[in-house]
Chain A
Amino acid sequence: MALPVDEVLRIARLAHLRLDAAEAERMGTHLARILDYVAMLDDADVSSVEGTTHAIGLVCPLREDRVHPSLSSSEASRGAPHSEEDLFAVPRFVG
């Protein structure tokens, strides 16, 4: 059974994705099939198991702060679809 379209659109809003009506319907069918499949994880006994975020035991490494050359603001903003005076320009979003 497909995931209801309003549920699909709720997730799409969380993901900042615009889906058209046909996409949302197809997505509902695909997501439901995948969720059915992953439900098999319920068969695994994980009652006394901690989750793994990283397989190789990593400690967060620290180092001294030091000043070194980095990208200039003009280099950093060069790939932007719209920039003004080396700043990223976006549509107005306050008053």
Chain B
Amino acid sequence: MSATAAEIATLVGGGHASAEEIARTTFARIRRCDGRIGAYLRLDEEGALRSAREVDARVRLGERPVLAGVPIALKDAIVTRGVETTCASKILRGWIPPYDAAVVERLRAAGAVITGKANMDEFAMGSSNENSAYGPVRNPWDLERTPGGSSGGSAAAVAAELCAAALGSDTGGSIRQPAAMCGVVGLKPTYGRVSRRGLVAFASSLDQIGPLAHTVEDAALLLEAVAGHDERDSTSAARPVEPYRDSCRGDLRGLRIGVPREFFVAGMDSEVEAAVRAAIEVLGRLGGEIVDLSLPHTPHAVAAYYLICTAEASANLARYDGVRFGHRARGAQDLLEMYQRTRGEGFGPEVKRRIMLGTYALSAGYYEAYYGKAQKVRTLICRDFEEAFRSCDVLATPTSPTAAFRLGERLDDPLQMHLADVFTISVNLAGLPGISLPCGATGAGLPIGLQIIAPAFAEQTMLRAAWAYEQSTDWHLRRPPEWTA
């Protein structure tokens, strides 16, 4: 499975390789390796082989689907008809969705082969994948470390080549941060670029589905396949999908690359800072004009995010009451007791904490002081970006202040865990697209990520910058040694 998604699609689409054979090879590798990583919560080998055979038949009839035969893992927050979807929560254990998410419909139409459901932090709440009710994911680069989160299973599956690419979801950095920590590419599209129908909701004004892959071109290929308007998601943007893959060419002449001062903070890991500064120099050598600038409200982003995402989550997660799906507590005497016990038993500690904080922030007497204030600070953060994009075309920053941290290291400190997302959160608050790509390694060999941020719906510019950087370096070719071959 050393081929990229683009290479697999070309081989299968051209009739030079069989989707079924590729799927069988992928499952053999998963069986060999995933016992030690835990990237998947469940596999759908039967369904994958069936759809692989259908893809082979379509190719024989002269079709050339853009993702022909590409094995793709889905974060377990994305619903799949007939395949258990739990969001890594006990409260959804055993739930078999009666429909496919919009992105799943689009992937299938494009000829992708869905391998299974990737592990994650429960309800996408976390930055280390340790909040999964079904056990943590281990980072393929160092099994004692986390893969990041919340799309930790998706990132680890790509890094260990247990799929060619994956979909994750990103509310405050949940695609980009694990991508950085696992040494892969992770792309969070503009809010509204990809339909959220069938994405289990966490914070609806922030959530967005996006790809994780080995190369920028693969991320562009997947984005092109899943993006587009969907009238079943009222927040989906009615704009045509651009040819993202075509953005993967050219140099950076004429491109202004902003470097925000606030993203190089005291206390950040010195190896991360050095790698990202070196990457920015490369962007300059490729023709980019480096612009020093400020996003002054960045220090407030984590606090604003903390209140907004928990407020939205407390409303979204009200639906888990033991009535229509999932777990129900036994022996309750009345309806209210049933709700309370069902939710007390079904949710893990971090989900409870966020529901509690959100409920508090929205409750009478506190609404304006917390939620209302956070929404206003969100406006200031959006304005910072608007101002910055007057003097640059994209921003270049670190994705995360550190490389992958050790399992257990931050579990007792929810605030410290949130600070892992300090460089990604403001992008969600402003609804912008962001991509993380490998740009270095620590002395211990752990991957480091470079984040490139663009104005809303300027994915093409973002991909052009990311691709040019990738072509001039070989960080994206590194693989975790233990899993090679």
What's the nearest-Cβ distance from chain A to residue B174, in Å?
17
B231 touches A61 (CB 8 A): yes
From known contacts A17-B340, A27-B356, A61-B231, infer whether A41 and B300 are also in contact, taking CB-CB under 8 Å.
yes
6 closest A-B pairs by beta carbon, nearest first, are A55-B431, A51-B375, A18-B344, A81-B328, A46-B376, A79-B325
Listed A/B pairs (13) with beta-carbon separation below 8 Å: A8-B356, A17-B347, A18-B340, A33-B415, A34-B414, A46-B379, A50-B379, A51-B376, A52-B379, A54-B235, A55-B431, A56-B456, A58-B192
User: Which B residues are within 8 Å of any A CB, using their own CB?
Assistant: 95-99, 190-192, 205, 231, 234-235, 237-238, 297, 299-300, 302-304, 306-307, 314, 318, 321-328, 332-336, 338-341, 343-345, 347, 349, 352-353, 355-357, 359-360, 363, 370, 372-380, 382, 414-415, 429-432, 456
Q: How many A-B residue pairs have CB under 8 A?
A: 167
Distance, CA A42 to CA B345, complexed state (A):
36
A56 touches B191 (CB 8 A): yes
A16 touches B307 (CB 8 A): no
A18 touches B231 (CB 8 A): no
In the complex, besides A80-B325, A93-B334, 9 extra interface pairs with C-beta distance below 8 angstroms are A34-B306, A34-B415, A38-B307, A46-B376, A61-B234, A79-B326, A88-B323, A90-B338, A91-B335
Provide the residues of chain A in CB contact with B360, threshold 8 Å.
Answer: 11, 31, 35
User: Which A residues are within 8 Å of any B CB, using their own CB?
Assistant: 8, 11-20, 23, 27, 30-31, 33-35, 37-38, 40-44, 46, 49-56, 58, 60-61, 63, 71, 75-82, 88, 90-93
Distance, CA A78 to CA B82, complexed state (A):
11
Q: Which of B300, B325, B347, B380 contacts A40 (CB 8 A)?
A: B300
Distance, CA A27 to CA B235, complexed state (A):
34
Q: Which of B192, B231, B238, B314 contacts A15 (CB 8 A)?
A: B314
Provide the residues of chain A in CB contact with B237, threshold 8 Å.
Answer: 56
From known contacts A16-B340, A31-B353, A76-B98, infer whether A41 and B379 are also in contact, taking CB-CB under 8 Å.
no
Distance, CA A30 to CA B412, complexed state (A):
9
B375 touches A52 (CB 8 A): yes
A55 touches B205 (CB 8 A): yes
B356 touches A15 (CB 8 A): yes
Distance, CA A94 to CA B299, complexed state (A):
51
Provide the residues of chain A in CB contact with B299, threshold 8 Å.
Answer: 40
The interface residues of chain A, by DSSP majority, are classed as loop
Provide the residues of chain A in CB contact with B344, threshold 8 Å.
Answer: 17-20
Provide the residues of chain A in CB contact with B327, threshold 8 Å.
Answer: 81
B190 touches A56 (CB 8 A): yes
Provide the residues of chain B in CB contact with A15, threshold 8 Å.
Answer: 314, 343, 355-356, 359
From known contacts A37-B415, A54-B431, A81-B322, infer whether A16 and B328 are also in contact, taking CB-CB under 8 Å.
no
Distance, CA A52 to CA B430, complexed state (A):
9
A37 touches B306 (CB 8 A): yes
Provide the residues of chain B in CB contact with A44, threshold 8 Å.
Answer: 297, 300, 373, 376-377, 380
Distance, CA A14 to CA B343, complexed state (A):
12
Provide the residues of chain A in CB contact with B190, threshold 8 Å.
Answer: 56
A11 touches B192 (CB 8 A): no
What's the nearest-Cβ distance from chain B to residue A13, in Å?
8
Provide the residues of chain A in CB contact with B238, threshold 8 Å.
Answer: 61
From known contacts A11-B359, A30-B414, A34-B414, infer whether A52 and B353 are also in contact, taking CB-CB under 8 Å.
no
Provide the residues of chain A in CB contact with B415, threshold 8 Å.
Answer: 33-34, 37
Provide the residues of chain A in CB contact with B357, threshold 8 Å.
Answer: 31, 34
Provide the residues of chain B in CB contact with A42, threshold 8 Å.
Answer: 373
From known contacts A8-B356, A27-B352, A79-B325, infer whether A55 and B378 are also in contact, taking CB-CB under 8 Å.
yes
A55 touches B191 (CB 8 A): yes
From known contacts A19-B352, A27-B353, infer whether A53 and B375 are also in contact, taking CB-CB under 8 Å.
yes
Q: Which of A43, A52, A80, A81 contacts B382 (CB 8 A)?
A: A52
A82 touches B328 (CB 8 A): yes
Distance, CA A8 to CA B325, complexed state (A):
28
What's the nearest-Cβ distance from chain A to residue B387, in Å?
14
Distance, CA A77 to CA B324, complexed state (A):
7
